[in-house]
Structure 1
Amino acid sequence: MEKNNWMRILYSRALIFVFMALRLTVLFVFILPSRPAYAALPNKTLLYCSEASPRSFDPSQAGAPVEYTASAFTVHNRLVEFDRDAMKIGPGLATHWEISADGLRYTFYLRRGVKFHTTSFFKPTRDFNADDVLFTFGRMHDPQHPFRKAYPVSFPYFTNLSLDKEIIEIKKLDDYAVRFTLKSVNAPFLMNLGLGFASILSAEYGAQLLKTGRAADINQRPVGTGPFIFNDYTKDVSIRFDGNPNYWKPEDVQVAKLVFLITPDPALRLQKLKKKECHVINYPNLDDLDAIKSDPNLRLPSRPALILHYLAYNMSHQPFDNILVRRALDMAINKDSINQVAFRGTGQVAEIPISSVFWKHDGPHANRAYNMQKAKDLLVEAGYPNGLKLSLWINPLHKSREVAAEMIQADWRKIGVEAKIRLYEWGEYIRRARAGEHDVVLTGWTGSPDLDDWLGVLLTCGERNNNNFAQWCNPSFDGYIKQARATINPIQRENLYKEALQIFILEQPFTPLTHVAVYQATRKEVTNFKVNYLTAVLFTGVGLE
């Protein structure tokens, strides 16, 4: 009788049991079936002023926070998901998982009763199951996959993490169990599955698109299991979503409608916020922070984020293949001044290409001391006594980067370097920079709380013409990254990344500038809004009074 009472208490409270054997042998996370969805959603519309239009609604092709916001974290879910408040992974579409003793097999047990979106262009006939996991990852993994052949696109994040080579097999054990088998131990594998590119797509929707010859629609008319259902998109104007009444976490859907209003000008975004034409805005001008704080109708949530602003030298262009030139350009920049003026002191000078939010480094720094005379001497030594000319690329999404670019331009002029600043629309900017057309680019990166998502994704040889804007390739650096990915012991793994970091510091392929906080302003009537440390804007659980 006592045992039965205990079991009833266990069930009623839906306790979660976690068992983790040493060295990640097995991990289980048990949770009970989802509660029924709300009968009706609050009849309210949340308006979000977005800074740019997404280039893609296919999470596997996305490459910027604006795209992850519009797709991965609004329309979709992943097998595992990052906690909204803490830098850790938890259950998503997988309720629990097992990791084999040798670290090569990951078995995911899938959530039951999860429904894909019903839209004007797709009506599912079944719930989410293992076939959808196979479709999602099979499309990225198998060059002969029928959908990939019908719609041949690249999957940059998946391939640049080497998952196309590391994953040997993706096997359906039954309708609610899937096993991934890896070629070698891959320490960041589980955390990587929580990133936007790993969002789960509908196999049934994919089959419909294949049958009708419209495979490319997967990139323009997304279908997922997430909190919001895609309705329509008017390019450069708006994206409209409906709240998902059947969401498996009903408490995360607090409005019936969600509308993105594309508003590139930050001053206009703030003006719309004040006029109640928007409830949430992204990237307010740093000059406006005090005014927002003093407005009784507005709120200014912020959070130190996993963001790095940096200056990448294209080493496939002369003279940036010369280490003396790169060091001279680095030493001529007054980084403290840039942090205080361009970024209004909201962050700190970055000393290495890794966010200080989750990792502290006490060793040598990538930034050399600000020294104009030494910078001039290095240019003379490099063979440029009369200076040189270059192009400095930025995109217009961040006013602070424009200011920073102008300050860098002024600093470089003092050593005889003439930099022509070029601004491009976001899509054009990212396309041309990845193609390596720039000389120097002032850009930023948002990564996960894993060292590999910084050193591995930004700097390895395979990332050239993608996230490696420096076009840098060092086999020794890549060797340390490869070893680190195959090392489970956290101390040994960290030491390997430290060795790779030393090579970066010696060769200076780019100059880290700042780590900054993220600010997102809201109306006071917005409830439960939190800044996401991964910088994609999250509307899960967000409502209106």
Structure 2
Amino acid sequence: MKTRIGVALASVLFASNALAAGTTLNVGMAGADAGKLDPHVATSTLDKGLLYWMFNGLVRIKPGEASPAFIEPDIAKSWTSSEDGLTWTFELRDDVECHGDYGKIDAEDVVYSLKRSANPDISAFAKDYTAFDSVEATGPLEVTIKLKNKIPSLLGLLVPYHGGNIVCKDAVEALGDDYQRTPIGTGPFMFAEYQPQQYVKLVANPEYFRGEPKIKEIFYRYIPSDSSRDLAFQSGEIDMIYGKQEQTWVERVKQVPGTKVVVMTPGEMSVIHLNMSMPPLDDIRVRKAIAYAIDRDTLVQFKGPDVTLAAISPVPEGHLGYTADVPQYPHSIEKAKELLTEAGFPDGVTIKAIHTVLPGMLSTMEAVQAELREAGINLEIQTVEHATFHEQIRKDMSQVVHYAAARFPVADVYLSQFFHSDATVGTPNAVANFSHCNAADKEIEAARVEGDPEKQLAYWAEAQKKIMEEVCAVPLVQSMQLWAWKDTLDLGTEVHGSLNLSPPVTEMAHFTE
């Protein structure tokens, strides 16, 4: 029985390096264990990156980029849309093989995948697909999607990210519940093995339609300790490392000989969601006191000015529809205390949060905890393993939820998932509305179907204003994605960003020596 990875990684796990020099990639991830590896269920940063290397979508964003401006064909080789934007037809490649013995992808698999993504009984991302009227196989290799109304970016829902991942119908049905631990995709790498709290092993897909990968196996290792992960990278035991989202980490790791450090977009935006259905957060004066007590500038300096941006709005800066013209609550301990006194808490107030042990997020929350304490707000933090965190906050168990998220860069996604009442946790269509906010439902809904781009932007701007007026949440910072790898590892493309929050390890990746 293999032992758990600690400060020194068990040498037996790396024996394959000697046997396959230059073809084994060891990745160090900041987490204790895998969550759910079904791509339509997985929500955590740890799992999204791993799945990125195993799955395809109808379309994809060019590897190394994160902007929808770089969308290109993937399983679909071409597509057309009707003049009114409500009917889209996709022509599929005929050479896309499912991993293992599950055959080629065809229109039936794509229809099954997208209907599964839209099914709230299965998918964590069903809310994204409510505009779908029908998805049909209109030929063996042709899929037609009809929409009830226009949406900001249909193609954005079809990239291999969240519900856009295409699964193999026969594999999902054959494996049943086991699919969550043995994912079958079509991507450059195939699932091979899972060792709890140690690693997931992937192997090259020899039938990959873009060509067999040069990397033959990947060990995706769970190393929650920052110091252990850094030590393993410095000693050469791992080749690629997920970084701590702090300036000091970048500066320190850059000093390691033969290292390439990359700051990737999109930034994960950290937001403090305030559950307005639970006292004392049902009082807007308490919510405003929290907003005034938090000093974003200090948080930016704490995390690092080169890798962090202050967050102003519920939508991240740089996303289509973002506006900075929202109510703001400049740091003022005096104002925070005044509001607490008005709300009946002259001696302060206690609020509670369930929180992940993930180091980058926890350090941010502890900094917020210290700031709130100055205003007499006692934030009690109960830490749990990352997968448990996701499970419990979706059961509406926390007064305060610190959520760090990167999403497709269009305002509708953030607004719909985090601030529309239909997405409220604990409801049938729950997504990630932890605050129980309903302040901007009208504007969010109007923007989705608005055909005039200027009017759509105006709706999104008004929605952001209303959310901040109600203080449904307090945006903190945007933290860029930090990764480092050996400079002998060539990913085959310049890496500027990744929607899936991990570097693009594709068939092009290889070691140069």
TM-score (normalised: structure 2): 0.88
Paired residue secondary structure (2:390): helix
Paired residue secondary structure (2:350): strand
Paired residue secondary structure (2:497): coil
Contact 2:198 2:222 in 1 (8 A): yes
- AA in 2 matched with 1:171: E
Residue 443 of structure 1, aligned match among 375, 381, 403 = 403
Offset at residue 443 of structure 1 (A): 2.3
Deviations 1:79-118 (A, max 9, x none): 0111224412221111111111222211111011111112
Offset at residue 203 of structure 1 (A): 2.0
CA distance in 1, matches of 2:305, 2:384: 24
Paired residue secondary structure (2:206): coil
Report what 1:45 is aligned to: 24
Deviations 1:371-399 (A, max 9, x none): 11111111111121221111234322134
Within 5 A, what are the aligned runs for 1:313-332?
313-332=274-293
Report what 1:245 is aligned to: 206
- AA in 2 matched with 1:75: M
Offset at residue 220 of structure 1 (A): 1.6
Q: Does residue 509 of structure 2 align to residue 542 of structure 1?
A: yes
Offset at residue 366 of structure 1 (A): 4.5
**Can you give the 5+ residue segments of structure 1 that lack an aligned partner in the other structure?**
1-40, 144-152
CA distance in 2, matches of 1:42, 1:192: 39
Q: Does residue 222 of structure 2 align to residue 262 of structure 1?
A: yes
CA distance in 1, matches of 2:165, 2:219: 21
Report what 1:453 is aligned to: 413
CA distance in 2, matches of 1:366, 1:433: 27
Offset at residue 288 of structure 1 (A): 2.8
Report what 2:461 is aligned to: 498
Offset at residue 483 of structure 1 (A): 1.6
Deviations 1:131-173 (A, max 9, x none): 1112212334468xxxxxxxxx531212x22x2x422222111
Report what 1:6 is aligned to: none
Report what 1:97 is aligned to: 79
Contact 2:202 2:219 in 1 (8 A): yes
Residue 429 of structure 1, aligned match among 360, 369, 389 = 389
CA distance in 2, matches of 1:364, 1:156: 31
Contact 2:151 2:449 in 1 (8 A): yes
Paired residue secondary structure (1:300): strand
**Can you give the 5+ residue segments of structure 2 that lack an aligned partner in the other structure?**
1-19
Offset at residue 354 of structure 1 (A): 1.7
CA distance in 2, matches of 1:439, 1:477: 21
- AA in 1 matched with 2:99: H
CA distance in 2, matches of 1:236, 1:79: 33
Change (3 A) 1:467 1:342: farther
Q: Does residue 487 of structure 2 align to residue 524 of structure 1?
A: yes
- AA in 1 matched with 2:27: Y
Report what 1:357 is aligned to: 318
Report what 1:217 is aligned to: 178
Report what 1:28 is aligned to: none
CA distance in 1, matches of 2:34, 2:355: 18
CA distance in 2, matches of 1:280, 1:259: 10
Q: Does residue 123 of structure 2 align to residue 155 of structure 1?
A: yes
CA distance in 2, matches of 1:361, 1:181: 28
Offset at residue 436 of structure 1 (A): 1.4
Q: Does residue 164 of structure 2 align to residue 185 of structure 1?
A: no
Residue 375 of structure 1, aligned match among 319, 324, 336 = 336
CA distance in 2, matches of 1:444, 1:542: 29
Contact 2:312 2:328 in 1 (8 A): yes
Contact 1:200 1:224 in 2 (8 A): yes
CA distance in 1, matches of 2:40, 2:76: 19
- AA in 2 matched with 1:247: Y
Change (3 A) 1:367 1:403: farther
Report what 2:43 is aligned to: 63
Report what 1:197 is aligned to: 163
Contact 2:272 2:474 in 1 (8 A): yes
Report what 1:29 is aligned to: none
CA distance in 2, matches of 1:361, 1:167: 25
- AA in 1 matched with 2:122: S
Offset at residue 299 of structure 1 (A): 1.7
Residue 172 of structure 2, aligned match among 203, 206, 209 = 206
Offset at residue 345 of structure 1 (A): 5.3
Paired residue secondary structure (2:136): strand
Offset at residue 405 of structure 1 (A): 2.5
Q: Does residue 435 of structure 2 align to residue 471 of structure 1?
A: yes
Q: How many residue pairs end up in the alignment?
A: 479
CA distance in 1, matches of 2:306, 2:380: 26
Report what 2:273 is aligned to: 312
Contact 1:441 1:469 in 2 (8 A): no
CA distance in 2, matches of 1:42, 1:129: 37
Q: Does residue 233 of structure 2 align to residue 273 of structure 1?
A: yes
- AA in 2 matched with 1:64: S
Offset at residue 237 of structure 1 (A): 0.8
Paired residue secondary structure (2:254): helix
CA distance in 1, matches of 2:233, 2:503: 16
Residue 84 of structure 1, aligned match among 59, 63, 71 = 63
Alignment RMSD, CA only?
2.2
Change (3 A) 1:363 1:220: closer
Deviations 1:451-493 (A, max 9, x none): 111111111112211543533231x611211121112332221
Deviations 1:164-211 (A, max 9, x none): x4222221111110111122222322211213322111123234x1xx
- AA in 1 matched with 2:106: N
Report what 1:133 is aligned to: 110
Change (3 A) 1:190 1:414: same
Deviations 1:264-283 (A, max 9, x none): 11211111111111000112
CA distance in 2, matches of 1:44, 1:405: 39
CA distance in 1, matches of 2:117, 2:332: 47
Offset at residue 404 of structure 1 (A): 2.9
Contact 1:284 1:521 in 2 (8 A): no
Paired residue secondary structure (2:79): strand
